[in-house]
Structure 1
Amino acid sequence: MSRFRRLLSTPEGVAGLAILAVLLLAALSAPIVSPGDPLRIAGRALLPPFADPAFPLGTDRLGRDVLAGLIYGARTSLAVGLAAAFSAMILGVCVGMAAGFAGGIVDEALMRVVDAFQIVPGFLLALAFVSTIGVSTPVVVLAIALGAWADPARLTRAQVLAIREQDYVASARVIGMHPVEIAFREILPNALPPVLALSATIVAGAILTEAALSFLGLGNPNIATWGSMIAEGRSVLRSAAYLSVIPGAALAVTVLGVHLFSEGLVNALGDDGGRTA
């Protein structure tokens, strides 16, 4: 049974995939559902949900379409989350591979760097980085990745340290296989599954961090984000709570979907444990 079929055999995996599929469909269909700039003034201000068929979720204080902001915000959240997780995974896997495979002083030096990044909470590191460098989407992605790469690095190192002592790795050394070839052909494929399972958690954390930065006014002001929508609704929370509740619910559902997918992925990879080697 393939890993994907094992993922679909778990309730968590199915639920997570369903939620993420709906979000991805909404993000991809954003230009069709709401063409044009989602930040443009489209109608009367503070129009409540379902009061006008043209604005199913109402409008905000400036008359911007809440539905447009919601679906374009999904694009932002997914894009930032996936990009930050990918960057963090690449950096973490490379550092973990180098530390675990090289050993000795290289391992000690790299692990002290990892320790230094793990001491600082990821959100505080991202907040300081964005505040110092400036606000833009690439900077936000890099800031989130800098706060998230240490865990994949440590997990990759632990996997490499265990796998490099296996008999098939010793056999590869005996037949004269180059160390780099051993690292990428024999060790890395077997070390990746647990690290990949961690990537879903990093995506969820990245989405929350991006929303928190946007809520504080440190996100890209030229694009629609759920964090900025929640912040926009604070001043009219008593009279128009939907302005904060709708994007807040979307954020909660997205993180829930990612965590459910992560649980299903862990179960699917766990069922395969011990057979990849």
Structure 2
Amino acid sequence: MIRLRRLLGSREGVTGLAILVILLLAGLSAPIISPGDPLRIAGRALLPPLTDPAFPLGTDRLGRDVLAGLLYGARTSLVVGVTAAVSAMVLGICVGMTAGFVGGIVDEALMRVVDAFQIVPGFLLALAFVSTVGVSTAVVVLAIALGTWADPARLTRAQVLAIRERDYVASARVIGMHPVEIALREILPNALPPVLALSATIVAGAILTEAALSFLGLGNPNIATWGSMIAEGRSVLRSAAYLSVIPGAALAVAVLGVHLFGEGLGKALGDGGGRAA
């Protein structure tokens, strides 16, 4: 509760949270505002924005409603970004926790795996994975998670290595607490705050990666995405720049909102402090 008040007391946190809430409401209200398939042909092609009340943001080259694509694209970006970030965080925390707490040859082996994943840029890994396995939303989420789990794993390991030598952990060992219980009850809760602060960066990166994959034609073709909308407007950029500008602006606002929320979250978690040594 104290950390929540700190988050709401942060100007960055409140601004970022407001942007994310607006995007969430836009995604949830998409079936109400624009019922039906957002990829269907709804009107005359290349209708400019603000010229027809039925299509406030105009239509694309095929006559699809830009507003519908924008709303459903918000849903896609948030779902993919959050799901990929949660998957990466869970995998990274599990690997980092195991490596830091067990130590020895297990630590060395797991860290070499982490090093191998960090050598390859996350976007290139996602690009290769999607190109090899195939295109679907689940594959895109998994590809993004595989490219981003190494950072939370390394940060979790560093936190665990520092915490496991503290007095309260030693006291837990002395009274005979099981190692698994020590790891889950004494170490993990105190190691999580810095790692959770990293989650906003992962979400922002996941949103951009999904948009980039869709821009390259490697996103799910059966759903509306901001990246595919930006790609759709490339060929008519001079005559109908709004087709790329509108989803591009939405993408920038989404990433900005996540970044600001992450700044506020980092301050709130950083001020909270861990358990006394």
TM-score (norm 1): 0.99
The separation in 1 between residues aligned to 2:152 and 2:73, in whole angstroms, is 27
How many residues end up aligned between the 2 structures?
277
1:253 maps to amino acid: V
Partner of 2:228: 228
The separation in 1 between residues aligned to 2:274 and 2:135, in whole angstroms, is 45
**Displacement, 1:243?**
0.1
**Displacement, 1:270?**
1.3
The separation in 2 between residues aligned to 1:175 and 1:67, in whole angstroms, is 62
The separation in 2 between residues aligned to 1:223 and 1:215, in whole angstroms, is 13
The separation in 1 between residues aligned to 2:44 and 2:160, in whole angstroms, is 59
Partner of 1:97: 97
The separation in 2 between residues aligned to 1:135 and 1:79, in whole angstroms, is 16
**In the alignment, is the contact (CA less than 8 A) between 1:226 and 1:247 conserved in 2?**
yes
Partner of 2:28: 28
The separation in 1 between residues aligned to 2:21 and 2:137, in whole angstroms, is 24
**Displacement, 1:276?**
6.7
Partner of 1:192: 192
The separation in 1 between residues aligned to 2:214 and 2:271, in whole angstroms, is 39
Alpha-carbon displacement from aligned partner over 1:147-169 (angstroms, at most 9, x marks no partner): 00000000000000001001000
**In the alignment, is the contact (CA less than 8 A) between 1:190 and 1:276 conserved in 2?**
no
Partner of 2:175: 175
The separation in 2 between residues aligned to 1:174 and 1:27, in whole angstroms, is 52
Partner of 2:70: 70
Alpha-carbon displacement from aligned partner over 1:198-223 (angstroms, at most 9, x marks no partner): 00100000000000000000000000
**In the alignment, is the contact (CA less than 8 A) between 2:39 and 2:224 conserved in 1?**
yes
Partner of 1:241: 241
The separation in 2 between residues aligned to 1:92 and 1:58, in whole angstroms, is 43
**Displacement, 1:273?**
2.1
Partner of 2:156: 156
Q: Which secondary structure state, in structure 2, belongs to the residue aligned with residue 107 of structure 1? A: helix
**Displacement, 1:2?**
1.2
1:238 maps to amino acid: R
The reply to whether residue 17 of structure 1 matches residue 35 of structure 2 is: no
The separation in 2 between residues aligned to 1:258 and 1:36, in whole angstroms, is 29
Q: Which secondary structure state, in structure 1, belongs to the residue aligned with residue 247 of structure 2? A: helix
The separation in 1 between residues aligned to 2:265 and 2:273, in whole angstroms, is 12
The separation in 2 between residues aligned to 1:274 and 1:26, in whole angstroms, is 37
Q: CA RMSD in A?
A: 0.9
Compared with structure 1, are the counterparts of its residues 186 and 148 closer, same or farther at alpha carbon in structure 2 (3 Å cutoff)?
Answer: same
**Displacement, 1:274?**
4.0
Q: Which secondary structure state, in structure 1, belongs to the residue aligned with residue 198 of structure 2? A: helix
**Displacement, 1:275?**
4.9
TM-score (norm 2): 0.99
1:166 maps to amino acid: R
Partner of 1:83: 83
**Displacement, 1:194?**
0.5
Partner of 1:47: 47
The reply to whether residue 108 of structure 1 matches residue 103 of structure 2 is: no
The separation in 2 between residues aligned to 1:193 and 1:263, in whole angstroms, is 13
Alpha-carbon displacement from aligned partner over 1:73-97 (angstroms, at most 9, x marks no partner): 0000000000000000000000000
**In the alignment, is the contact (CA less than 8 A) between 1:30 and 1:72 conserved in 2?**
yes
Deviates more, 1:139-148 or 1:267-276: 267-276
The separation in 2 between residues aligned to 1:35 and 1:107, in whole angstroms, is 52
Alpha-carbon displacement from aligned partner over 1:108-131 (angstroms, at most 9, x marks no partner): 000000000000000000000000
Partner of 1:217: 217
Structure 1's unaligned 5+ residue stretches are: none
**Displacement, 1:259?**
0.3
**In the alignment, is the contact (CA less than 8 A) between 2:190 and 2:275 conserved in 1?**
no
The separation in 2 between residues aligned to 1:96 and 1:106, in whole angstroms, is 11
